Amino acid sequence: MASPAAGQAPREADQARPASRVPAPAVPLAAGFAVAALLSLGGAYLGLWFVPFALGVAAGAFLPRARGTALTGTALTVTVLTVTGGAVAGWAIALWIMALNSLPVGATARSIAALAGLPPYAAVAVAVTLLLAALQALAGTWLARAVFPRQVRLPFPGRHPQP
């Protein structure tokens, strides 16, 4: 490979990208995180505690099933964790808004923690609540991936299924 000093101009691929440009996969993941957080926040506001589970089911059901597609392996894991993080962020924002509106979130959390046999600290109950949001999203994803079958493989032409 010739250097630019040898009289050749550098190719476009050799030039560095501008620092302000965001990589292409980061934009859909950020949008997915924001949508999951907003849906989870809306569900928490309406008292729909199962919204993280529904988000997990949607994430697991609508991702490609076949091997060799763009969303397999690491990308699938990142997508699932993005939805899970969005669900947790939505619940955390809902709890934060309730605390800002002077609702007794801390006192309620302490009471629930004490009744559950946990240390009577508000942070413990809030952490368990956010952990439940994450577990719901992951369980929904797992259920959708288990229930909806992989892409059906068609037999070769001329072959007949074995009885």
Q: For the chain, give every domain's residue range.
A: 26-147
pLDDT, tens digit, for every residue of 99-141? 898 888 888 888 888 888 888 888 888 898 999 999 999 999 9
Is this structure's pTM higher than 0.75? no
Q: Which residues lie below 8 Å from residue 122, measured CB to CB, with a gap of 6+? A: 105, 106, 107, 109, 110, 113
pLDDT digits (tens, 9 = 90+) for 24-75: 677 888 888 999 999 999 999 999 999 999 999 998 887 766 555 555 566 6
pLDDT tens-digit map of 9-36: 555 555 555 555 656 677 888 888 999 9
CA-CA-CA-CA torsion sign (46, 52, 56, 59): positive
